[in-house]
Amino acid sequence: MASITMQTNKRNNLLIINAKQIILEDEVLYNGHVIVESDGKIIEINKGIYYEYDDNNKFNACYNCKKNQATFAPAQCDECVNIYCKKCAMKMATGGRCKKCKNLFASMKRTSTEKKNVNRNNNKIINGVEYIIPGFIDIHNHGLGGAKDVLDYWTNPEFSLRKLYKVGVTSMFATLTFPDPPRLKRSLKACQVLSELYLKNNNYGARVEGIVSVFYCTSSKFLFIAMHLLFFLTHFIS
């Protein structure tokens, strides 16, 4: 898996993340990168560590590991230049046969200085990330706080949505409990807040994709009314 060099002279204000593992739907990319536009849209997921250099400042990948910058070569070979990274060169420092030219060598020598991954286009480059994975979807969540009682947690959705986002949840279904009156009004208020949040597409981190309802009632008449209310809210949100 070869590292790649990308010229980004015409691409500004990007978020570029270099990660050791990128978990995709059907495969895992090792030592890859993700490029995100300023509006949050992912425009590229690819193999190789992302580097930004001048047109005259080329990046050479290690011939052995295919990912780190090559700055070493066998001391006894004048043909091989910049073919091994420091880590691989240390492993082969006692000598052996060059994997590229197949010549025997007894030591390694530095053939260039390591180039820095620079930012030339106002792009933010993040290196050394262990994992990049798709956001989690939480299908049943009563909220994480923001009020004194769990019935009121979703009247202050910003509190829970920001906390969920920090642990990797990007989409969720808010769970509301519909008890017998008079506490029903509190759940209806939370339902109204979440409905407005969904329609306005406000984003505090995790996105509300819908509402999960839980009914606790002793009256069949109340259950009938609550089911009709839920039917109305479902069509209102959709």
Q: How many C-beta atoms lie closer than 10 Å to residue 4's C-beta? A: 15
Q: Residue 102 has what pLDDT?
A: 78
Calculate the CA dihedral of residues 126, 127, 128, 134 and round it to 10 degrees.
50
Whether residue 169 sits in one domain with residue 145: yes
Q: Which helix (H) or strand (E) holds 228?
A: helix 220-237
- pLDDT, residue 4, reads 40
> In the predicted model, is pLDDT for residue 148 greater than 90?
no
**Confidence label for 133 from pLDDT (cuts 50, 70 and 90):** very high
| 149 and 213 co-located in one domain | yes
Token pair 């007894």 is at which residue? Answer: 106
Coil, helix or strand for 121?
coil
Over residues 127-133, the mean pLDDT reads: 88
- According to DSSP, the residues that pair with 192 across neighbouring strands are none
Helix (H), strand (E) at residue 163: helix 157-166
32, pLDDT greater than 50: yes
Q: Is the pLDDT of residue 6 over 50?
A: no
User: What per-residue confidence (pLDDT) applies to 8?
Assistant: 46
Contact 214, 234 (CB under 8 A): no
Can you give the pTM of this predicted structure?
0.56
> What's the mean pLDDT in 67-85?
76
Asked, for residue 67, whether it belongs to a domain, the answer is: no
Same domain for 141 and 127, yes or no, is no
The reply to whether 140 falls in a domain is yes
Asked whether residue 98 is assigned to any structural domain, the reply reads yes
Statement: residue 144 has pLDDT above 80? yes
Shared domain for 51 and 82, answered yes or no, is no
170: which 2 tokens?
Answer: 């990007």
pLDDT value at 207 more than 80: yes
Task: Give the pLDDT band of residue 1 (cuts 50, 70, 90).
Answer: very low
Claim to verify: residue 126 and residue 14 sit in the same structural domain: yes
- 97 with 18, same domain? no
What pLDDT does 164 receive? 93
Q: Which residue has the higher pLDDT, 50 or 236?
A: 50
Question: Is 169 a domain residue?
Answer: yes
Domain encompassing residue 99: 72-110
61 located within any domain: no
Q: What Cα–Cα distance (Å) separates residue 157 from each residue in 141, 148, 170, 172, 177? A: 11, 14, 14, 12, 15
Any domain includes 65 = no
What sign has the CA pseudo-torsion 196, 199, 202, 205?
positive
Same domain, yes or no: 127 and 140: no
Residues 94 and 144 in one domain: no
Is the same domain home to 149 and 191?
yes
Give the mean pLDDT of the chain: 77
In a shared domain, residues 145 and 78: no
Q: Are residues 124 and 31 in the same domain?
A: yes
- Quickly list DSSP for 38-107: TTS-EEEEEES-EE---TTS---B-TTTSSSBP-EEETT-SS--S-B-HHHHHHTTT-EE-TTT--EES-
Per the domain annotation, does 203 fall within a domain?
yes
Residue 62 or 82, more confident: 62
Number of domains comprising the chain: 3
Same domain? 225 vs 184? yes
- Whether residue 60 is contained in a domain is answered as no
CATH of the domain at 21: 2.30.40
